[in-house]
Amino acid sequence: MRVLFADAVSGATVTELESRGHVCVVDPALRAGDLAARVDGFDALVVRSTKVGRDVFEAADRLALVIRAGAGTNTIDTEAAASRGILVANLPGRNAAAVAELALGLLLAIDRRIVDNATDLRAGRWDKSGYSRAQGLLGSTMGILGLGSIGLEVAQRARAFGIEVRTLSKPGRDPDVLTRAEDLRIGTVESLADLLPCCDIVSLHLPSTPDTVGLVDEEFLGQMRRGSILLNTSRGELVDEQALLRALDDRDLRAGLDVYADEPGTGTAQWSSPLAQHPRVVGTHHIGASTQQAQDSIAAGVVELIDAFVEGEARNCVNLTPSRIGSATLTVRHLDRVGVLAHVLDRLSRASLNVEHMENRVFRGGGAAVASIDVAGAVPEGLLADLDALPDVLGVSATEIAGDA
């Protein structure tokens, strides 16, 4: 495969991929507007912060895989990729510990006024009496919005400080998340109106979606306790910054921010932000995932995703249907011989059945195999008997897919 890295990458990642026979081109100077003219001839594209728009997918001649070297994929037009059959994969959880560490660092810096302490000391000012008025974190309550891998890591560290943790109840949470939340004794409430007034700290760990953009607005901030702390290490767009500026002054709120709605898209820039410069804000430069440990883990994950793709596995793909679709699943047991499935697929085509998903597994010993085929359309009477009569087919069954419209 030919792999284009549109952002900086560790030399170890390139060496590892090249040892597998892949050709790697690293061009960290590429910008979003350059990608469409650069992507021709590449099978895979790896990005960190560079945006990948529809024009890139329309211009690509052989692109089959885009990897976001991180969790969020809001900078990639996943719908445009899906329309051209291009997989978009991410690496969730690889930077969770790093982001959680920064979130707790911001919290400590706010509570103990560490930034102001250090600034005064460097300027030769000693003010022990002025800085000896911290509230302390023991026994406080933190509300976590977004109980994914990062939210859970934040909860674990908060509990170590003696902080009570609460979150919103959510139907259909993964059983592993529920188990870990129970182990961490995370309480749940039904609504923001129940959560915000009882929290001393609110920490955001949500993706940027139409439902979350502008979530932290005047109403949200008005429900928070006076003097409480807002932490945002997820996405700047979640916060109405003008509303937060007013709340910092009017409600004595404090904030620890690593992300901003209009932050620069480059590593260095001249940038002025009334929010970042507010005296009740401790801000950092969108560095939540920027530890060596996190970057090493992400680099290893890129290699794992490419290995999986080469082996035919769409791992961590975000633009495939999340669940099975179609009307029925056909299970075809057959001898492991050339052409058997070709005949099966020919019969499905004649019956106007579209294959939505298919998997074929060989039994131990290599003599037989079983194919599981999800199809869309009405399974005609007599099809199973027709398939069963094919040479080298050992048996056929069909089951309806629940919930198909």
Q: Which of helix, strand or coil describes residue 372?
A: strand
Structure tokens at 18: 């090249």
Query: 224, 190, 182, 232: which is closest to 207 by C-alpha?
Result: 232
Whether the Cβ atoms of residue 84 and residue 60 lie closer than 8 Å to each other = yes
Rounded to the nearest 5°, which phi and psi values hold at 157? -75, -35
Q: Examine the residue annotation and report whether 285 is marked as an active-site residue of this protein.
A: no
Provide the 3-class DSSP secondary structure of residue 243.
helix
Decide if 340 contacts 393 (C-beta within 8 A). Answer: yes
For the CA atoms of 268, 274, 280, 286, the dihedral, rounded to the nearest 10 degrees, stands at -30
Give 78-93 pLDDT, tens digit per residue. 999 999 999 999 998 9
CA angle, 51 as apex, 47 and 54 as ends, to 5°?
Answer: 115
Task: DSSP for 111-143, please give it.
Answer: HHTHHHHHHHHHTT---TTTT-----STT-EEE
Please report, as a single letter, which amino acid is at residue 388.
D
Q: How confident is the prediction for the chain on average, in pLDDT? A: 94
Q: Which residue in the list 22, 235, 254, 334 is annotated as catalytic?
A: 235
Alpha carbon of residue 298 to chain centroid: 12
Task: Give the residues across from 164 on adjacent strands.
Answer: 141
Q: Does residue 218 have an active-site annotation?
A: no
Question: Where are the alpha helices (H) located in 123-266, listed in sequence order?
Answer: 149-160, 175-183, 192-195, 218-223, 241-250
For the beta sheet containing 393-400, the strands, ordered from the edge strand earlier in sequence to the opposite edge, are: 354-362, 368-376, 328-335, 393-400
Q: Write out the H or E segment, with its range, that includes residue 81.
A: helix 78-83
Catalytic (active site) residue 286: yes
Per-residue model confidence as pLDDT tens for the chain (405 residues): 999 999 888 888 999 999 999 999 999 989 889 999 999 999 999 998 889 999 999 999 999 999 999 888 888 999 999 999 999 999 989 999 999 999 999 999 999 999 999 999 999 999 999 999 899 999 999 999 999 999 999 999 999 999 999 999 999 899 999 999 999 999 999 999 999 999 999 999 998 889 999 999 999 999 999 999 999 999 999 999 999 999 999 999 999 999 999 998 777 889 999 999 999 999 999 999 889 999 899 999 999 999 999 988 889 999 988 766 788 999 999 999 999 999 999 999 999 999 998 999 999 999 999 999 999 999 999 999 999 999 999 999 998 887 543
Q: What is the pTM of this model?
A: 0.78
Distance CA 237, CA 176 (A): 29
Q: For strands 368-376 and 354-362, give the pairing.
A: antiparallel
Q: Return d(Cα 291, Cα 277) in angstroms, integer.
A: 24
- Provide the 3-class DSSP secondary structure of residue 394: strand
Instruction: Provide the pLDDT for residue 118.
Output: 97
In sequence order, the 6+-apart residues with CB closer than 8 A to the CB of 224 are 196, 197, 199, 202, 230, 247, 251, 253
* Cβ contacts of 102 within 8 Å, gap of 6 or more: 233, 258, 284, 287, 288
List of domains in the chain: 2-94+293-310 (3.40.50.720), 96-286 (3.40.50.720), 328-400 (3.30.70.260)
pLDDT tens digit sequence for 22-57: 999 999 989 889 999 999 999 999 998 889 999 999
CB 84 within 8 A of CB 57: yes
pLDDT digits (tens, 9 = 90+) for 180-204: 999 999 999 999 999 999 999 999 9
**Residue 330 and residue 183: Cα distance in Å, rounded?**
41
Active-site annotation holder among 159, 263, 278, 357: 263
Q: Which of 68, 254, 286, 334 is catalytic?
A: 286
